[in-house]
Amino acid sequence: MNNNVYGIDLGTCNFKVFCKSTGKILQEKNTIAIINKNQIYAYGDAAYAMYEKAPENILVDFPVVSGVIADFNFLQEFIYDYLEEKMRGKVKGAEFIVAVPTDITDVEKRAFFELFFKGKFKPKSVLLCEKPIADAVGLGIDVNEPTGVMVVNMGADTTEISIISLGGLVLSNLMHYGGNRMDEAIMNYIRKKFNLVIGQKTAMALKETIGSGLPGRTESMIIVGRDVVSGLPIEMEISAEVIYEAIRPTLESICSSIKMILEKTPPELARDIMHSGIYITGGGSQIHNLDKLFEEITNIKVNICETPEESAVRGLVKIVSDSKYKRLPFSMKNNILK
């Protein structure tokens, strides 16, 4: 009998899995490379290395878009093969608990459930849990308490702002933009300002290396792009101030949404948030000085964690292992069997 438990966070950019038996977190790019339209050529980090470099007969694709499953069959095959390879046959008969965004339809949630319930996994059980709650538990917060907690999860395609109390969501707003929108903004800004065409990987590297939530950063980075006028590749030094100007509109939109949620928050919960602060997680939360930007906008302290991308998967396994959280996850088995 397989008593193993897997916590799964299917992000748009990265696939994270926490294995309870080993205590390790595995992280892989949530990317697949398809050859001849019907066969997986590569997956994970190997497939992502081909992104923006593959010939026409190889399609490099992202099976999760805006937080929901876009390519069910290939994603199911990728996850099963990946876990079989990494866990050496300890996948069948295991328990799975999967993080799902809040503001998605029941049909979209059922797709997350069926991804593991059907197919080769033959699981002992499959449970779903709303991602903001998993994030909060992973950050060490007791979500069962009658205390207001604000969590901002900044992913690649989505940004989710949530107010949690007594194990449930009081308010939540799922916005369909995040790190990828900033990458696109950087690409467009550099093309417009310097007549230089760059790829998304270069834009992401600029954002992660010299991006900032506030002006004043002085670093720069040398990149290679294609000159629009000559059509030839050239090197150019890009300053942090340029990247700040490029991503500023997206950051301002996120700040406006945070303020809007705070304006709707009941006064007693708002008092709790003032005391405990705002928690930011997700890969996008690692932008330099982002916490200081949010503090300036809200006048509330902002809490950051060392590994924000891993908070949800850590919380998932804690939820399924601790009896005090047993009412938080839910199953969609009855919906499937009807």
User: How many whole angstroms separate alpha carbon 83 and alpha carbon 297?
Assistant: 42
- Domains of the chain, CATH where assigned: 5-134+312-337 (3.30.420.40), 142-304 (3.30.420.40)
Q: What is the pLDDT of residue 87?
A: 83
Give the SS3 label for residue 151. strand
What is the tens place of the pLDDT at every residue in 31-89?
999 998 889 999 999 999 999 999 999 999 999 998 899 999 999 999 999 999 988 76
Cα Dmax for the chain = 65
| pTM of the complete model | 0.93
What share of the chain in percent tops pLDDT 70?
98
Q: What pLDDT band is residue 333 in, cutting at 50, 70 and 90?
A: confident
User: How many whole angstroms separate alpha carbon 245 and alpha carbon 185?
Assistant: 9
The contacts of residue 253 (CB under 8 Å, 6+ apart) are 175, 177
Q: What is the pLDDT of residue 336?
A: 56
- Nearest alpha-carbon partner for 159 in 237, 103, 84: 103
User: How many whole angstroms separate alpha carbon 171 and alpha carbon 36?
Assistant: 45
User: How many whole angstroms separate alpha carbon 130 and alpha carbon 312?
Assistant: 10
- Nearest alpha-carbon partner for 53 in 184, 186, 182, 199: 199
User: How many whole angstroms separate alpha carbon 335 and alpha carbon 323?
Assistant: 25
User: How far is residue 286 CA from its own chain's centroid?
Assistant: 12
* Residue linked to tokens 């940004």: 159
| CA dihedral (176, 182, 184, 188) positive or negative | positive
Under 8 Å between Cβ of 149 and 125: no
User: How many whole angstroms separate alpha carbon 17 and alpha carbon 27?
Assistant: 7
What is the tens place of the pLDDT at every residue in 266-307?
999 999 999 999 999 999 999 999 999 999 999 999 999 889
Q: What is the pLDDT of residue 334?
A: 74
Strand bridging mode 149-154 / 278-281: parallel
What share of the chain in percent tops pLDDT 90?
88
